[in-house]
Amino acid sequence: MAKIKKRGTTGQAKNFITRTQAVRKLQISLPDFRRLCIFKGIYPREPRSKKKASKTSTPNTTFYYTKDIQYLLHEPLLRKFREQKSLAKKIARSLGRGEVGDAARLEKNLAPKLSLDHIIKERYPTFVDALRDLDDCLSLLFLFASLPSTTSVPPKTIAQCQRLCHEFQHYLITTNSLRKSFLSIKGIYYQATIQGQDILWLVPYRFVQKVNGDVDYRIMATFVDFYTTLLGFVNFRLYTSIGLVYPPKFDAISDEKGAELTAFRLEGKNVEQLKAIEQPKAATNASNNEVSREVQEKVDNVVKMAGLDKDSGEQAAEDQATNEYAIDKFEPAAPEADTLPQPEASGDEAGSLFSSFTFFISREAPKAPLEFILRAFGCKRIAWDEISGEGAFTHDEKDTRITHQIVDRPQLPESALPSVPEDSKNGAVKVRNGGRIPGRTYIQPQWVWDCINDSKLLRPDLYAPGATLPPHLSPWVKTTRGAYDPRITLAAQEEEGEAERAAEEEDEESEDEENVAEAKATEVDDEEEEEDEEEDHGMDVDGSEDSESEEEEEEDFGGFDDAADAVSESEDEEEALRSQHQKELEAEAAGLPFSGSTNGTSSAKKSSKTKKYEAEKRKEEEELERQKMMLSRKKRKLLDKMLYSNKKKEEEAQKLRSKRRKIENATKSQA
């Protein structure tokens, strides 16, 4: 006879354990259990059947794997938690006795320090694993770096998050690893490529943050403790991989004055060696270029003397313009095909995008993100106003070395500007306060983000102060065929005859509105006439008038034949109303517009192109129905799903195009 199995020894009851049972087994409190699970990366599990997994009759909601809890029994942090608990009892006992000095001494000398180094090594055995899990880490640390200091968020934690974030930004600036960025409602998204891994994180805007009580900052502080340890390990590995000393030197005085990124100074032996190697390389490259130019000039002279410079000049210009090591661009084989994914720019191209420019950031523009992006893409000289903090290339806005100025306010008219100041210095630039310096390019901040997303310098006149900016699109969303693209003109993505059909629909809508307005006006006139008639033919007091009216009614009455005619006329009107209502129902079921008596006129007003388009669409639908009859049931359902999704996308794109068409027509009418 087989042995009888006891309940709770096999199956889901053995594989799962409740949270209460786990806390009792580990002999720690519930907050410490939460901290331990966050540190170790253990989270609740959902069994297939809660009834089978639960060993009691009460329905439990939180389950964990039994093996995970068994794994936590040998965790060294359990001993630290128990030491903290015993220390808390001793401090409470001392405070109860009134021994405040003993309590302070116990807290200062005997408080156990938690070390999460062994947990980082357990959870991330390789450095690539740590880079893959860096998205949430950076997003949370950048968030805490922008929070105000409160009782739940101490200033020490905020300073530590700011220091680690600035160190990571310096690595991206040194290696030119930043690739893309996007301005959204939530904040600024950044994407960097480090050792082949794409890292995407979110940085909130620097507004005044309000710390609400709805958020449990104890749990978030536990994540911050873990992520600060992780980012410290990652920064150390990244700095040492490129020969930099970690941690970099930090000037606290300049940081208090608003220096931020410039408060750090990077040091390393390999950096100086690389600079020494790059200088002779640049010199040799320059000499080689000069020699090649001299040889090319001699060849061109010989070709010109021989009279063979008809096509060779253009070919030589193209050869000089194209770079041998430039990234290839993949073009689709057919114009209707989908766009192929293009390769991203390399670190050298990213490091030379803004290398030849000198920027001045105005006071109203966001200094911190602009400084980080400009430095990450090769800009060495960035200036700003003295109020914004230290660390600028120059604080003089009238410096002639500045090539671009980032402005986020509209241009004032000349009448609103003050007069030109009298300057006695020789060679100084005389500029009004708030005026424009000649020879300098003024742009809005979006120009910087669009340039780095397109990996090229865009036209600055499109981003002039006060100008309507182009659409700022996400660089991670790729446009598909048939979808609406705001960067392309409306005529380039419209279907054949779509503009004419839209114009006809607008005309029909306007006519319907006019007819409705006329009908309402006639109803108002009829009501006024009826009111006037009631006022004229009210109750009469004189009996003679009553008798005269009765005689007139008797004379007007022509017998029962006239009454039958009136009844037949009313029946005809009811039948007309019924038929009109039936036509409206049929048109509504067919999905066609119906406007009563104006239906025939509106259909007659349709152009030949619209009728041709409708006929072709009807033929396509009929042909598609014939083809679907030849398919199997499974393939027919799959085709219906594809057609349904494509139709939804086309309708959405058509709505967006119609909105844009109305906006453009409104702007044209206003102009």
Q: What is the dihedral of CA 625, 631, 634, 639, to 10 degrees?
A: -40
Tokens 């600024």 found at:
188
Please, where are the H alpha helices in 391-471?
446-454
Please say if the pLDDT value at position 448 is more than 60.
yes
Q: Over the chain, what is the mean pLDDT?
A: 78
CB 373 within 8 A of CB 173: no
Instruction: Compute φ and ψ for 492, nearest 5 degrees.
Output: -75, -20
Backbone φ/ψ region at 95: left (φ over 0), alpha (ψ -120 to 50), beta: alpha
**Burial (CB count within 10 angstroms: exposed 0-12, middle 13-18, buried 19+), residue 303:** middle
490 or 409, higher pLDDT: 409
- The token pair at 284 is 């040799």
Give 400 or 3, the one with higher predicted confidence: 400
Q: At 111, is the secondary structure helix, strand, or coil?
A: coil
Of 256-270, 309-323, 432-446, the one with minimum mean pLDDT is: 309-323
Measured distance CA(322)–CA(522) in Å, rounded: 74
pLDDT at 172 over 90: yes
More confident residue, 345 or 149: 149
Q: What is the pLDDT of residues 270-329, one digit of tens each?
A: 555 545 544 554 454 455 555 445 545 654 564 455 444 444 444 444 444 444 445 556
Residue 479 reports pLDDT greater than 60? yes
Note the pLDDT of residue 522. 67
- The pair of three-digit structure tokens given for residue 53, joined into one six-digit string: 């997994």
C-alpha span between 19 and 395 (Å, rounded): 60
Dist. CA 664–CA 656, nearest whole Å: 12
What are the φ and ψ backbone dihedral angles of 405, each rounded to 5 degrees?
Answer: -125, 125
What is the pTM assigned to this prediction? Answer: 0.71
Mean pLDDT score, 145-164? 92
316-365 pLDDT, tens digit each: 444 444 444 455 565 666 555 555 555 666 667 778 899 999 999 999 99
pLDDT at 643: 86
Which of the 8 DSSP states describes residue 410?
P
Q: Residue 603's pLDDT is what?
A: 47
Query: What are the tens digits of pLDDT across the range 508-541?
Result: 666 666 666 666 666 666 666 666 655 555 444 4
- 301/341 Cα distance (integer angstroms): 43
pLDDT tier at 494 (50, 70, 90 boundaries)?
A: confident
What does residue 234 show for φ and ψ, rounded to 5 degrees? -65, -45
Q: Lowest mean pLDDT of 52-56, 429-433, 514-518, name the range.
A: 429-433
Neighbours of 463 (CB within 10 A): 22
**Radius of gyration for the chain, computed over Cα atoms and rounded to the nearest angstrom:** 39
Separation of alpha carbons 311 and 37, rounded Å: 72
Q: Which long-range contacts (CB under 8 A, 24 or more apart) does 464-467 make?
A: 464/411, 465/407, 465/408, 465/409, 465/410, 465/411, 466/410, 466/411
Count of C-beta atoms within a 10 Å radius of residue 195? 11
The domains of the chain are located at 12-109, 117-267, 347-412+436-477
Three-state DSSP class for 215? coil
Q: Smallest Cα–Cα separation from 391: which of 260, 249, 256?
A: 260
Q: Which CATH number fits domain 347-412+436-477: 3.20.20.140, 3.40.50.10190, 2.70.98.50, 3.90.1170.50?
A: 3.40.50.10190
- Of 15-19, 30-34, 207-211, the one with minimum mean pLDDT is 207-211
- Is residue 234 predicted with pLDDT exceeding 80? yes
Dig out the tokens for 466 from the structure. 């006060």
Q: Is the pLDDT of residue 209 over 60?
A: yes
